[in-house]
Structure 1
Amino acid sequence: MTQQSVPQPFHGAQPQTVTTVMQLILRRRHHEAQCYDGGETTTLIVEKLVNRAGQTLTPVWGKDWSELEPGLRTKADAIEIHPAACPVCISFKQERFGRIYNRRTYEDERYTVTDVFEVCYRAAE
């Protein structure tokens, strides 16, 4: 079973506020299901990173921090945003792969879900 969701923009949504240095950690996580045998692996991927001038930046996913522009750095599995770099908009893709074993029907179900969303970060006023 494959499912894809692309949320419609919510025009009343408030952007995330950066009051100090913010670090976003992007990793692969595995969650064990509590009610069924099985589990889920979730991966958060940066699809697009846009700076305050509206330019798309290419993240560098190396071992050490790489400065994309003043106040905006990336490294393997992390993004660092300083208030001076805001507003910064990041488009994410979240992929979830899972397996559920239903003990009532003895069926092994596998699923894939992809969510696409954007978060804009702004400096606190």
Structure 2
Amino acid sequence: MFGDADAAIARIEEDVRRAQRRAERYPAFQAAVDGVRARAVSRRRDVAVEVDAGGIVRVLEVTDAAAERGGRYVTQEVMALIGAASRDARAKTLAITAEILGEDDPIVKVVAADLEAQETGSHAWRTGGRA
């Protein structure tokens, strides 16, 4: 009977140690994620996009030559580049997360699942857990 209680206490103590380690690493983790940027440039080098770790566009560059090709061209290029840069940013975020928090941290699994969902087009978070 006490064996079960001792095991439960040991698990709780390990959980507390894990939480303390995460709290110690969190400032470095947050700073690293805040610094993630990914850039994608069109083949003609006339449109460029830079996004942050969350896929938010931070820089959008459209040359006069791109604009002369028309709105449809620019729109298609921008959308494609946002997708490419966002995938790269998520991959960088996953690498940083695993490096700083450790491969076994649950946050790593969440970031990896988000990256996989983005790559496969199945966003379980949008459908209440169903892809």
TM-score range, shorter chain: under 0.3
Greater share of strand: 1
If the length of structure 2 is used for normalisation, what is the TM-score? Answer: 0.25
- Give the number of the structure with larger relative contact order, counting CA–CA contacts within 8 Å between residues 6 or more apart: 1
Q: TM-score, normalised to structure 1's length?
A: 0.25
Tell which structure's C-alpha radius of gyration is larger: 2
